[in-house]
Amino acid sequence: MTISIEIPQPDDWHVHLRDGDMLAAVVGYTARRFRYALVMPNLVPAITSTAAVATYRERIMAAVPVDAADFRPLFAIYCSRVIDLDDLRRGAADGSIAAVKYYPAGATTNSAAGGSSMFDFMSLFEVMADSEIRLLVHAESTDPAIDIFDREAHFLSEQLAPVCAALPELSVTVEHVSTSDGVDFVAAHPRCAATITPHHLARDRSHLLANGMRPDLYCKPVINSTTDRAALLAAATSGAKGYMLGTDSAPHPTTAKYGPVAKAGVFNAAYGLEVVAEAFYQAGRLDQLGQFASTNGVACWGVEPPSSTITLTRETIDRELATSLTTTKGDEVVLFGTEEAALWTIQTTPVTAATFGC
Ligand code: DOR
Ligand code: ZN
């Protein structure tokens, strides 16, 4: 049976677009699918100022394909001691800076410039609370004594909970929430929202480890247990407004994935939406897809609602799907979600603005 659903054009509230030839190779996947995309600042050197955002934005827009007519990147800067508070306030006021992203140093790809404790940044967070600038948090302990699968819960209770208690006006996004503890944390904190990735919704650690180690599923925070996945899916499909799609699409060349140490990151910009659609479909909650992928983020970020829709159809069509891309330098990146992509087709459907009452 063919099943179809029409949803407002979706947004991606967490994406890594990289730079140079990798940016050129990946940006079209995001720009053709999504309208807003919140671009992460973990380049080397990290993006920490309005000036760096402006030049990065130019490089991104120069690489966007012409048929991606309505792509609207937003930018987070990297939480670091070098942030100039006046520059941050100016950037937030003129819209060039959407948020500040906290990375625990050593937790993930390009996090060396991150913090060793959130408490070192309380004066910055106070300014952000006053100026209504959202804090995005990679919530993962780097304490080697903490088991890798418990690191989100540990970080949330030891670091983010006291910050939220001290600054109740600060708006926070728990990025790529990966555990039931993370879901509970968001539910208990009214000013906290969360992004959820396609891969955390659709895979668990047995997919990562049970039948040979799968470097293409390795990301930070790591994909966790079946119980955690069920909690994420329940949250994403619940209709609760605090949960939104953030793909955390993070391309790495196969040379960095298949060596003795795999870099963390899943490249899902190509098929992430199909992966989420299939997860919702399997949960019997396809009706909630628009809320999660389109509506909740727009409301959370206070941006203009879309005037177009996309239609996702579950049907098997005989076609050849790409399984990887190659950059101009010859680096190959594996596309996550080909299984789900084989089950879904996605069409862009322009509609009149009146459809959404805007
Ligand atoms: O898996 C990840 N990859 N998690 C992150 O937080 C960063 C990202 C990347 O930049 O590769
Ligand atoms: Zn990320």
pLDDT, tens digit (0-9, with 9 covering 90-100), for 212-230 = 999 999 999 999 999 999 9
CA of 109 to the centre of ligand 1 (A): 5
Is any atom of ligand 1 closer than 6 Å to the C-beta of 327?
no
Nearest in space to 109 (alpha carbons), one of 212, 5, 233, 257: 257
Pocket-testing residue among 110, 217, 218, 248, ligand 1, by greatest number of atoms within 8 A of Cβ = 248
pLDDT tens, position by position, 145-155: 999 999 999 99
Is any atom of ligand 1 closer than 6 Å to the C-beta of 203?
no
Residue 354 pLDDT > 70, yes or no?
A: no
Is any atom of ligand 1 closer than 6 Å to the C-beta of 28?
no
CA of 108 to the centre of ligand 1 (A): 6
CA of 16 to the centre of ligand 1 (A): 8
pLDDT tens, position by position, 54-105: 999 999 999 999 999 899 999 999 999 999 999 999 999 999 999 999 999 9
pLDDT tens, position by position, 103-155: 999 998 888 889 999 999 999 999 999 999 999 999 999 999 999 999 999 99
Which ligand is nearest to the Cα of residue 218, counting in written order? Answer: 1
Is any atom of ligand 1 closer than 6 Å to the C-beta of 217?
no
Residue 349 pLDDT > 80, yes or no?
A: no
Among residues 12, 204, 228, 248, which one is catalytic?
248
Pocket-testing residue among 108, 200, 208, 224, ligand 1, by greatest number of atoms within 8 A of Cβ = 108
Residue matched to tokens 């299984």: 339
Is any atom of ligand 1 closer than 6 Å to the C-beta of 179?
no
Q: In the CATH hierarchy, which top-level class contains the domain 9-306? A: alpha beta
CA distances 243 to 16, 61, 215, 249, Å, are 19, 28, 27, 17
Paired tokens of 167? 């600054």
Paired tokens of 218? 């390795």
98 phi and psi, to 5 degrees?
-95, -30
Which ligand is nearest to the Cα of residue 248, counting in written order? Answer: 2
* Size of the chain, expressed as the number of residues it contains: 358
Atom of ligand 1 nearest to the CA of 103: 6
Q: pLDDT class for 350, splitting at 50, 70, 90? A: low
Is any atom of ligand 1 closer than 6 Å to the C-beta of 265?
yes
CA of 103 to the centre of ligand 2 (A): 10
pLDDT for the residue numbered 16: 98
Q: Determine the Cα angle at 225 with ends 224 and 231, to 5°.
A: 95
Closest Cα to atom 2 of ligand 1? 265
pLDDT tens, position by position, 260-300: 999 999 999 999 999 999 999 999 999 999 999 999 999 99
Atom of ligand 1 nearest to the CA of 107: 6
* Domain locations in the chain as residue ranges: 9-306
CA of 340 to the centre of ligand 1 (A): 22
Told to judge if 94 belongs to the known catalytic residues of this protein, a careful annotator would answer: no
Q: How far apart are CA 323 and CA 356, in angstroms?
A: 36
Is any atom of ligand 1 closer than 6 Å to the C-beta of 43?
no
Q: For residue 45, say if its preceding peptide bond is cis, omega within 30 degrees of 0.
A: yes
The pTM of the full predicted model, rounded to 2 decimals, is 0.96
Is any atom of ligand 1 closer than 6 Å to the C-beta of 16?
yes
